[in-house]
């Protein structure tokens, strides 16, 4: 057999083991022998992964995760931080207190994830203002209805939520509560 490294042709009376080349000393496995030992693996060098600071690093990481959860929880739930608090619901402006809104037709087109929609809904409910709400992201027919009404009203550009229809007048892009109530009273 010839050595795979140096090409030396092994002679029958060599004193080196059968798995080693007598000329260069390289160990090799015999092709014809199934039970021949495999060559020894060379020296493998690897870097031990760095372990970043124990307690301090873990403490800072835990504080960062907690801060992110507290900050993002209202946003991920679809609420703004002010709207997430139940005590934030403000009353109607003074000029509208005690007025009767029972004849007003208020339709609110909302998204299920819209914080402004939630806030306006809470204001309507807290002040006893009757309204009907349609979610355009879960009801495609309501989305088409909204777009048709905006085209009739000749509204150009983007449409934000909530968009309201108050007594037949379209009020897109989260109008102020005062403007909604003024339109509702006609």
Is the pTM higher than 0.85? The answer reads no
Q: What is the pLDDT of residue 118?
A: 93
Residues ≥6 apart with Cβ < 8 Å to 107? 131, 132, 133, 134, 164, 165, 166
Q: Tell me: the pLDDT tens digits for 130-181?
A: 999 999 999 999 999 998 988 888 877 778 889 999 999 999 999 999 999 9
- The domain defined by 89-185 folds into Glutaredoxin (3.40.30)
The residues of the chain scoring below 70 in pLDDT are: 1, 29-54, 74-91
Distance of alpha carbon 25 from alpha carbon 20, whole angstroms: 6
Domain assignments of the chain as residue spans, ordered by start: 1-37, 55-84, 89-185
Q: Are 170 and 161 in contact (CB under 8 A)?
A: no
């Amino acid at each position: 057999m010839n050595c795979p490294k140096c090409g030396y042709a092994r002679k029958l009376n060599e004193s080196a083991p059968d798995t080693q080349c007598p000329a260069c000393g390289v160990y090799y496995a015999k092709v014809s022998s199934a039970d021949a030992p495999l060559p020894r693996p060379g020296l493998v060098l690897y870097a031990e992964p760095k372990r970043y600071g124990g307690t301090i690093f873990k403490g800072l990481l835990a504080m960062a995760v907690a801060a992110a959860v507290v900050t993002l929880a209202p946003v991920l739930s679809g609420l703004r931080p002010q709207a997430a608090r139940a005590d934030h619901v403000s009353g109607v402006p003074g000029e509208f207190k005690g007025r009767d809104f029972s004849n007003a037709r208020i339709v609110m087109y909302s998204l299920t994830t819209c914080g402004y929609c939630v806030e306006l809904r809470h204001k309507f409910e807290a002040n006893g203002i009757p309204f009907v709400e349609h979610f355009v992201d879960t009801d495609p027919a309501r989305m088409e209805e909204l777009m048709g009404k905006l085209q009739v009203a000749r509204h150009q550009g983007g449409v934000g939520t909530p968009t309201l229809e108050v007594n037949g007048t379209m009020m897109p892009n989260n109008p102020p509560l005062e403007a909604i109530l003024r339109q509702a009273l006609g």
